[in-house]
């Protein structure tokens, strides 16, 4: 199969999502009518909007917001800024959010947004004007009861503050619960920034327990050292794991004795890159990815494990911190190698779980201690891990298909209960 499919087809995120959905739906004997409903997004919004740039010229931007399903609650999903954002990518990410929210059993559906731009070449003022105009273009379709955006690639808490302010100005009053991932002083939640990394750490812990492997000295390689990867690496390092490799877009580091993540974080803060860190060997990122380790954490972008490198992966466990890091073809290769894969829709769901906590706190107007956020997050991640591995054992499937089956089952059950409005 790996030889008969083009790489372009293999790495299309919507095709990858559809392949997993179809396989899981067949395993579930899903009602064909529900299959039709869940097989495509419920709403796709494409907007083209002008922004005045710093030099006075007008640039036209294209933005997307896709809502895959709102059967279980408001849409939930990030907004990404990148030059290569596509509608297929946003569609896939929206559907993954539907399954992710269902796997951890929180009352959200799936959504996602994006704007085609190069944020690295834009000033802060240009980014703010673009964000506010994009928000105004999709304002009818977002809101605390409709669809709640969050940060994603190249967006952050400042972006969310601009969206919240723009939405609030249109509503005529402050609406903190329209987005999550905001600064603390305007309705953000304690523990939100580290939540995805913390969830990954919980899944690593649970995977080792399940496989009867020791935690102390467990060798970890992390691909991607942004918010997710760096927080996961730091939390694992502090818990006694040995982080032996870091792979970034511009190069990698390797030290079989372990990398001091606190030193590396300080180095990156000072230099803007991990390159040149003195206490590890510089190694090309693609080589770091296939080095021998106990746990590999792809925590950056989609399609980093494909038919081109899956046969060379030497990890015992893969915990997916990114969305869609493994293609469907690569899944088959990893299964043949008997690698224990914890799929993205479970492994990186700590972020959306903490977003749910933030939304709840905003709506209550009452904010929790960080210890409460961490305890609730860890309990949900542990329970969800147990649900998925039990489902995998009961149905004789791998963890990814089990997670999809569990999620689809929950969403389908809700749709049947609600019925089809006509």
Active site residue ranges: 112
Residue for token pair 């060997």:
281
CA distance 263 to 230: 12
**Is residue 365 exposed (0-12), middle (13-18) or buried (19+ Cβ within 10 Å)?**
exposed
CA distance 291 to 301: 19
What DSSP string describes 5-21? S-HHHHT-HHHHHHHHH
The bridge status of strand 58-69 relative to strand 109-116 is: antiparallel
Which strands make up the sheet holding 219-223, listed edge to edge? 281-283, 251-254, 242-248, 219-223, 293-298, 315-319, 340-342
Residues 6+ apart with CB under 8 A from 60: 48, 49, 50, 51
CA distance 242 to 238: 9
Residue for token pair 């933030």:
358
Convert 17-35 to b/e letters by CB count within 10 Å (16 or more is b): bbbbbebbbebbebeeebb
383-390 CB contacts, 8 Å cutoff, 24+ apart? 384/103, 384/104, 384/105, 384/346, 384/349, 385/202, 385/203, 385/206, 385/207, 385/210, 385/342, 385/346, 386/206, 387/103, 388/103, 388/346, 389/210
Q: Pick from 400, 270, 283: which is nearest to 340 by CA?
A: 400
Which strands make up the sheet holding 43-52, listed edge to edge? 43-52, 58-69, 109-116, 75-82, 147-151
Q: What backbone torsions phi and psi does residue 316 show, to the nearest 5 degrees?
A: -85, -30
C-alpha triplet 65, 67, 72: angle, nearest 5° = 150
Q: Cβ–Cβ contacts within 10 Å for residue 111, how many? A: 35
């Amino acid at each position: 199969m790996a030889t008969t499919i083009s790489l372009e087809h293999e790495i299309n995120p919507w095709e990858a999502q559809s392949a997993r959905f179809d396989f899981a739906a067949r395993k579930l004997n899903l009602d064909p009518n529900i299959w039709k409903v869940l097989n495509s997004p419920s709403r796709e919004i494409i907007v083209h909007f002008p922004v005045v740039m710093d030099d006075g010229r007008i640039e036209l931007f294209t933005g997307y917001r896709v809502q895959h399903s709102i059967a279980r609650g408001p849409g939930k999903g990030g907004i990404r800024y990148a030059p290569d954002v596509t509608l297929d990518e946003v569609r896939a990410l929206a559907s993954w959010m539907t399954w992710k929210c269902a796997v951890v059993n929180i009352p959200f559906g799936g959504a996602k947004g994006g704007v085609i731009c190069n944020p690295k070449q834009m000033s802060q003022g240009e980014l703010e004007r673009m964000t506010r105009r994009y928000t105004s273009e999709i304002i009818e379709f977002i809101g605390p009861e409709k669809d709640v955006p969050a940060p994603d690639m190249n967006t952050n808490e400042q972006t969310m503050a601009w969206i919240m302010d723009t939405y609030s100005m249109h509503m005529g009053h402050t609406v903190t619960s329209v987005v999550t991932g905001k600064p603390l002083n305007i309705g953000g939640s304690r523990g939100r920034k580290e939540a995805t990394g913390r969830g990954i750490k919980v899944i690593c812990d649970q995977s080792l327990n399940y496989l009867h492997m020791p935690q102390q000295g467990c060798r970890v390689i992390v691909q991607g050292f942004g918010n997710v990867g760096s927080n996961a690496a730091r939390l694992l390092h502090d818990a006694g794991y040995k982080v032996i490799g870091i792979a970034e877009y511009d190069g990698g580091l390797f030290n079989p004795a372990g990398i001091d993540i606190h030193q590396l974080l300080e180095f990156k803060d000072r230099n803007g890159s991990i390159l040149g860190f003195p206490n590890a060997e510089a190694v090309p990122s693609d080589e770091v990815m296939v080095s021998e380790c106990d746990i590999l954490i792809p925590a950056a972008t989609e399609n980093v494990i494909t038919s081109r490198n899956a046969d060379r992966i030497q990890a015992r466990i893969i915990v997916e911190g990114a969305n869609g890091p493994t293609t469907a073809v690569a899944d088959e290769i990893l299964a043949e190698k008997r690698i224990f894969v914890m799929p993205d829709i479970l492994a990186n769901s700590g972020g959306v779980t903490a977003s749910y906590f933030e939304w709840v706190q905003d709506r209550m107007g009452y904010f929790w201690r960080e210890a409460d956020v961490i305890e609730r997050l860890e309990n949900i991640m542990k329970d969800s891990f147990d649900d998925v591995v039990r489902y995998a054992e009961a149905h004789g499937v791998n963890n990814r298909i089990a997670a999809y089956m569990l999620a689809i089952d929950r969403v389908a059950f809700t749709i049947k209960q609600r019925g089809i409005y006509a």
